[in-house]
C-alpha cells in the first residue's frame, strides 16, 4: 500500500479496511453521497454515525455539489475534474489529494490539511482556504517512490475573491495562475513561485514573501502596495534617463555595424511595467522573460526581437513591427496583436513566432 509522508509528519494508508474505511477504490457519486449521510450523523454526534475515511480512492469527474465532508479523512484521493461547488471540507485531511481542474466555487476548506495537494487548472471562486496547511507533502508508492512533486500546486489555476489568509504556503507553486481580489494576508509564502502569474488586487499585508519568486510576475499597484516585497526575488529595474539613451544608442550601433560594435539592448528579466518604449528602434533586442504589463511599444521597430516567455499583459503594441519576433511562451492576455505588423522578414527565413 501507499504511504503519505511530509517533512514534519507522516501518514500511512492502512493495509486493512475498517467498517468506515475504504482504500484504493473507484467510487461513484451515489456511493459517496451514501457515505456522506453516515458522515453527517457522525458530525452531529448521532447514533449510527460513521466518519468518512477514504484513502487513495478515485472520485475524479464526480458532481459533489454541496456535499459535507468536513473532518473527513481523504488522503491521496483523486478529485480531478470534480464539481465541489458549495462543498464543505473544513478541517478535512486532503494530504496529497489531486484536485486538478476541480470547480471549488463557494467551497469551504478552512483549516484543511492540503499538504502536497494539487489544484492545477482548478477554479477557486469565492473559495475559503483560510488557515489551511499547504506545505510540501510527499505521496509515496511502493518501494518509497515519490509519485509526484510534493509541492502544493495552483499552477494555471483561477483564483477569484478567495480567502487564503494565514495559510501555510511555503514552496507553493502558483506558476501561470490568475489571482484577483484574493486574500493572502498573514500567509507564509516563503520560497513560493509566481512565475508567469498575474496578481490583481491581491491583499498581502503581513505575508512572508522571503525568497518567493516574483521575477516574472504581473503585479498591479494595489497588490504591490499591500505587500512587503523586499526579500522576494523580483525582476531587475529598467534603465532610465541617460542609461536608457546610452543603451538605445549602443544598440543602434550594434545593428548598423552588423553586431561588431556597440551592444545589443538587453531588457531580459527586467520589469518594464508601464514603461515607455514607443517608437524606438529595437530590432533584435532581448526581452526574454521581461515583465511588460501596460508597456507602451506603439510604433516600435521590433523586427527579430526575442520576447520568449515575456509577460505582455495589457501591453500597447499598435503599429509595432513584429516581423520575425519570437513570442513563444509569452503571456499576451489583454494585449492586441491585431494592429501589429507580423510575418516573415524579407528573406522569408524568420517569421513571427507565437
Cell of 130: 483560510
- Residue 74 has a pLDDT of 97
How many domains in the chain? 1
Whole domain around residue 313: which residue ranges?
236-354
Q: Is residue 220 part of a domain?
A: no
Q: Does this model's pTM top 0.95? A: no
Q: Is residue 17 part of a domain?
A: no
Q: Is residue 171 part of a domain?
A: no
CATH, residue 321 = 2.160.20.80
Q: Is residue 36 classed as helix, strand or coil in its secondary structure?
A: helix
Instruction: Give me the tens of pLDDT residue by residue for the chain, a chain 354 residues long.
Output: 344 433 333 333 333 333 468 999 999 999 999 999 999 999 999 998 999 999 999 999 999 999 999 999 999 999 999 999 999 999 999 999 999 999 999 999 999 999 999 999 999 999 999 999 999 987 766 666 666 678 999 999 999 999 999 999 999 999 999 999 999 999 999 999 999 999 999 999 999 999 999 999 999 999 999 999 999 999 999 998 899 999 999 999 999 999 999 999 999 999 999 999 999 999 999 999 999 999 999 999 999 999 999 999 999 999 999 999 999 999 988 888 888 999 887 665 666 676
Q: Is residue 241 part of a domain?
A: yes
Distance CA 149, CA 138 (A): 7
CB atoms within 10 A of CB 343: 10
Q: Is residue 336 part of a domain?
A: yes
Residue 32's contacts (CB-CB under 8 Å, 6 or more residues apart) are 59, 62, 64, 67
Q: Is residue 205 part of a domain?
A: no
- From residue 169, how far is each of 88, 131, 165, 174 by CA, in Å? 21, 10, 10, 10
Q: Is residue 330 part of a domain?
A: yes
The alpha-carbon radius of gyration of the chain (Å, integer) is: 25
Cell of 121: 487548472
Distance CA 191, CA 273 (A): 23
Angle at 308 between CA 304 and CA 313, to 5 degrees: 105
Cell of 189: 509564502
Q: Is residue 304 part of a domain?
A: yes
Among 203, 159, 179, 198, which residue's Cα sits nearest to residue 292? 198
Expressed in angstroms, the distance from the first to the final Cα of the chain is: 46
Amino acid at each position: 500500500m501507499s504511504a503519505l509522508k511530509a517533512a514534519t509528519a507522516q501518514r500511512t494508508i492502512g493495509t486493512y479496511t475498517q467498517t468506515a474505511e475504504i482504500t484504493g477504490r473507484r467510487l461513484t457519486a451515489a456511493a459517496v453521497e451514501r457515505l456522506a449521510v453516515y458522515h453527517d450523523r457522525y458530525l452531529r454526534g448521532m447514533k449510527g454515525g460513521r466518519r468518512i475515511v477514504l484513502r487513495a480512492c478515485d472520485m475524479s469527474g464526480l458532481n459533489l455539489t454541496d456535499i459535507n465532508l468536513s473532518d473527513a479523512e481523504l488522503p491521496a484521493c483523486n478529485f480531478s475534474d470534480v464539481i465541489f461547488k458549495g462543498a464543505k471540507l473544513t478541517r478535512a485531511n486532503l494530504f496529497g489529494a489531486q484536485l486538478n481542474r476541480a470547480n471549488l466555487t463557494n467551497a469551504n476548506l478552512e483549516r484543511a490539511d492540503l499538504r502536497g495537494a494539487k489544484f492545477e487548472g482548478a477554479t477557486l471562486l469565492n473559495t475559503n482556504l483560510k488557515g489551511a496547511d499547504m506545505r510540501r507533502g510527499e505521496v509515496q508508492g511502493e518501494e518509497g517512490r515519490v509519485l509526484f512533486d510534493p509541492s502544493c500546486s495552483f499552477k494555471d489555476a483561477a483564483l477569484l475573491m478567495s480567502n487564503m489568509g494565514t495559510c501555510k504556503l511555503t514552496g507553493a507553486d502558483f506558476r501561470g495562475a490568475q489571482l484577483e481580489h484574493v486574500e493572502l494576508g498573514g500567509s507564509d509564502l516563503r520560497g513560493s513561485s509566481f512565475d508567469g502569474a498575474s496578481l490583481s488586487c491581491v491583499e498581502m499585508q503581513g505575508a512572508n514573501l522571503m525568497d518567493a519568486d516574483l521575477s516574472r510576475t504581473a503585479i498591479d499597484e494595489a497588490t504591490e502596495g499591500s505587500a512587503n516585497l523586499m526579500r522576494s526575488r523580483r525582476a531587475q529595474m529598467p534603465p532610465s534617463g541617460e542609461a536608457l539613451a546610452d543603451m538605445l544608442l549602443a544598440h543602434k550601433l550594434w545593428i548598423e555595424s552588423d553586431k561588431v560594435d556597440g551592444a545589443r539592448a538587453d531588457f531580459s528579466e527586467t520589469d518594464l511595467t508601464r514603461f515607455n518604449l514607443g517608437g524606438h528602434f529595437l530590432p533584435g533586442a532581448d526581452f526574454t522573460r521581461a515583465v511588460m504589463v501596460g508597456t507602451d511599444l506603439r510604433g516600435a521597430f521590433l523586427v527579430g526581437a526575442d520576447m520568449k516567455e515575456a509577460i505582455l499583459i495589457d501591453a500597447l503594441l499598435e503599429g509595432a513591427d513584429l516581423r520575425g519576433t519570437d513570442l513563444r511562451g509569452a503571456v499576451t492576455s489583454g494585449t492586441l496583436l491585431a494592429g501589429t505588423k507580423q510575418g516573415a522578414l524579407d528573406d522569408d527565413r524568420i517569421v513571427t513566432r507565437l
